[in-house]
Amino acid sequence: MSETRSHERPTCEVCQKSGATTVAKYTRSPWPVVACNTCGFVYLGRVPDYEDLSVNLAWEKQHAEEKARRKKTNKLARFDALTRFRLKFGKVVDRVRHARAVGAGGRVLEIGCGGATRIPEGPTPYGIEISEGLSKKARPIFEARGGAVHHEPATTGIEKFPESFFDSIIMRSYLEHEAQPRLILERAFRRLKPGGTILLRSPNYNSANRFIMGSEWCGFRFPDHVNYFTPRSLKALAQSIGYEFRWMNRMSLFDDNLIVELRKPKQRAVEAPLASAYAETAV
Ligand SMILES: [Zn+2]
């Protein structure tokens, strides 16, 4: 098997400062879990290159391997069975949330769509999927509803679409995999219509279950989960780009995931300082 190509991440994606300390108890060699020295955001200090996520480290392969590994090593199997039950229940709640987040019409983008779509009937679905195998499965499903699927890293795939194109974007179990979450959220911001929303679900590093399960917490996946957001760090990242942040499951203490809605404000005021910042760097 070919060796995984990887690179170090130079700065924290939340506060954009360099300097981080290894969190030894969660690190699984050669993938260092680090905490930003400035803001405390936890992330993988070294990440696989995008090319390897297409085939070698494709999600569907990693998922099967991780499942087998957990079966062998999990000392807290009963806790884990409970987790699985909650995950199944969570899927029903999830479907209801998607139906609410997505309007009856318009255009919806699903980043990391996998081999199918979770977008309910009504709007035109578009997808981006980095796994070659899954994108092939998804393509005819999206095309049958008038949409399209791009097999690419999300950061470049999203540039295939015009500005202010989408009514909503679904990032479900995607942002924890993305080595450049700031870049994708900036690009998504420009492609959302004013008032458009992102429905985002990602493991919550501050979930009660992480404290119970420790390094066996289901949010840890090496090397495919590269960001470990908390409500605070995700809010800071989103607001620094211009989004309004709404935490949707703050009452569910034992949820492993963070579910939030990011809204592009209807007024375009936030775009003025962004535009001038770009102009300054261009000079
Ligand atoms: Zn930071």
Residue 44: inside a domain, yes or no?
no
Structure tokens belonging to residue 123:
């709007």
- The pLDDT value recorded for residue 281 is 46
Are 22 and 216 within 8 A, CB to CB?
A: no
Residue 216: inside a domain, yes or no?
yes
Residue 40: inside a domain, yes or no?
no
Sheet containing strand 227-228, strands side by side? 20-22, 33-36, 42-44, 227-228
Residue 217: inside a domain, yes or no?
yes
Question: How far, in Å, is the centroid of ligand 1 from the Cα of 135?
Answer: 33
Question: How far, in Å, is the centroid of ligand 1 from the Cα of 2?
Answer: 33
Q: How far is the C-alpha of 256 from the C-alpha of 92, rounded, in Å?
A: 15
Q: How far is the C-alpha of 156 from the C-alpha of 126, rounded, in Å?
A: 14
For 209, the enclosing helix (H) or strand (E) is helix 208-213
Sheet containing strand 192-203, strands side by side? 148-150, 124-128, 107-111, 166-172, 192-203, 257-263, 244-247
Q: How far is the C-alpha of 235 from the C-alpha of 139, rounded, in Å?
A: 33
Question: How far, in Å, is the centroid of ligand 1 from the Cα of 238?
Answer: 13
Question: How far, in Å, is the centroid of ligand 1 from the Cα of 201?
Answer: 21
- The pLDDT value recorded for residue 85 is 63
Q: Which pairing describes strands 46-48 and 244-247: parallel, antiparallel, or unpaired?
A: unpaired
Question: How far, in Å, is the centroid of ligand 1 from the Cα of 150?
Answer: 31
Total H helices, total E strands in the chain: 9, 13
Q: Which domain holds residue 111?
A: 57-282
Are 212 and 79 within 8 A, CB to CB?
A: yes
Q: How far is the C-alpha of 86 from the C-alpha of 271, rounded, in Å?
A: 40
- The pLDDT value recorded for residue 52 is 64
- Domain total for the chain? 1
Query: What does the pLDDT look like over 194-224, one tens digit per residue?
Result: 999 999 999 999 999 999 999 999 999 999 8
Within the chain, which residues score under 50 in pLDDT?
Answer: 1, 275-283
Residue 173: inside a domain, yes or no?
yes
Question: How far, in Å, is the centroid of ligand 1 from the Cα of 144?
Answer: 43
- The pLDDT value recorded for residue 177 is 93
Question: How far, in Å, is the centroid of ligand 1 from the Cα of 43?
Answer: 10
Query: What does the pLDDT look like over 109-139, one tens digit per residue?
Result: 999 999 988 888 899 999 999 889 999 999 9
- The pLDDT value recorded for residue 74 is 56
- The answer to whether the pTM exceeds 0.75 is yes
Question: How far, in Å, is the centroid of ligand 1 from the Cα of 259?
Answer: 21
Question: How far, in Å, is the centroid of ligand 1 from the Cα of 14?
Answer: 5
Q: How far is the C-alpha of 242 from the C-alpha of 1, rounded, in Å?
A: 43
CATH label of the domain that carries residue 264: 3.40.50.150
- The pLDDT value recorded for residue 275 is 47
Question: How far, in Å, is the centroid of ligand 1 from the Cα of 11?
Answer: 8
